[in-house]
Structure 1
């Protein structure tokens, strides 16, 4: 979806998807990101339990987003805005993601903002298998909450069994 959005010139939505998948942000957290956070590479926010959680923005995303923000002449303020220049809403993002999913022939039932948070977690564990760090990055109070991302789909289970059961 991300690549198709860029190819079709939907740059802002390309960045919405990229920020969701590269940061593990909840939709409410995504809406808090400002140009200043892109510049510093992180956003500190308070979680439900009153703790501070740091949302990191990777160098690659930071570099690309900085170029995009310069093109839009955004040097400060919220980076995701609606056509009126106001901060976009969670509902607006959800509706647009469903729209693009339908347009690109994807299952609209599985495309919603939180699904990109799941993708971040799965990708993180595939590349760096540290569930304690992932729990911290995602703002989970307990590793038990993060364990859901360790579960494999039926097709992943089949592939693993096919690979290791050779007797």
Structure 2
């Protein structure tokens, strides 16, 4: 698996993706010592019956990448179609976001105040947020190279730049903006657990307070103010506008409220 790992890294896959692909490949070769089209189809059936559709598709993609790596001349597995809900579920609302920011400000908890603000105001993934440094704050943006070697620029809004430098004026340029206990960037798990603690502290449903929820909030708020979906797709780092269209949908609660307002007959 070490050579497969190096193969993935050379292809430009992110570390988290490399870990998940190696895990999926180990899972495959543990179940089948000899690979055939039949065994691959059986493995797909097992994945589909054992895991959620999104997880199964991720494993199927990993298996296909492994088959390419070893030069397997047989079939490649097709992913399963995932039926999207016609609404967003478990997404933090603007009211909940404001309550958290207000509570953190009142408590003077500036570290987590900035974590929450950066997640909500930049649309960054949590893995990308860990790459932010003080130099990026001064520059006003972070350039990210995707696994397809495409450049994506994450903009830091001017007001957030100014607020950051007010709260932490002595930051060293090459230091992580959000350090953990060791001085290196805080881990993704550390951010996720910290957000749950914050939610409970301020009486917000913990189920809607997770890193990606703030990315949803960013997209929904942006599209409400600027309906340029192509621009939003670029800002989010989506390959296809179709992926971005989900943010045009309302949450289940918003749909409920809209129906209650509209229907008076």
TM-score scaled by length of structure 2? 0.59
CA contact (8 A) 1:80 1:88 kept: yes
Once the two structures are superposed, residues 88-117 of structure 1 have per-residue CA deviations (whole angstroms, 9 ceiling, x without a partner) of 111101011001111111111121100000
Please point out which of 188, 204, 207 is paired with 1:109. Answer: 207
Q: Name the SS of the counterpart of 1:55 in structure 2.
A: strand
Structure 1 residue ranges (4+ consecutive) displaced by more than 2 angstroms after TM superposition: 83-86, 153-167
- Distance in 1 (CA, whole Å) between partners of 2:161 and 2:132 is 12
Please point out which of 166, 171, 187 is paired with 1:89. Answer: 187
Question: Unaligned stretches of 5+ in structure 1?
Answer: none
Please point out which of 99, 103, 107 is paired with 1:4. Answer: 103
Counterpart position of 1:55: 154
Higher RCO (CA 8 Å, separation ≥ 6 residues): 1
Q: Name the SS of the counterpart of 1:44 in structure 2.
A: strand
CA contact (8 A) 1:35 1:69 kept: no
Once the two structures are superposed, residues 53-96 of structure 1 have per-residue CA deviations (whole angstroms, 9 ceiling, x without a partner) of 000000000001112221xx213121101233222111101011
- Distance in 1 (CA, whole Å) between partners of 2:212 and 2:198 is 16
Question: How many equivalent pairs are there?
Answer: 165
Question: Unaligned stretches of 5+ in structure 2?
Answer: 1-99
Cα deviation for residue 165 of structure 1 reads: 6.2
Counterpart position of 1:45: 144
Q: Name the SS of the counterpart of 1:45 in structure 2.
A: strand
Cα deviation for residue 156 of structure 1 reads: 2.4
Q: Name the SS of the counterpart of 2:207 in structure 1.
A: coil
Matches within 5 A, 1:71-86: 73-76=170-173, 77-86=175-184
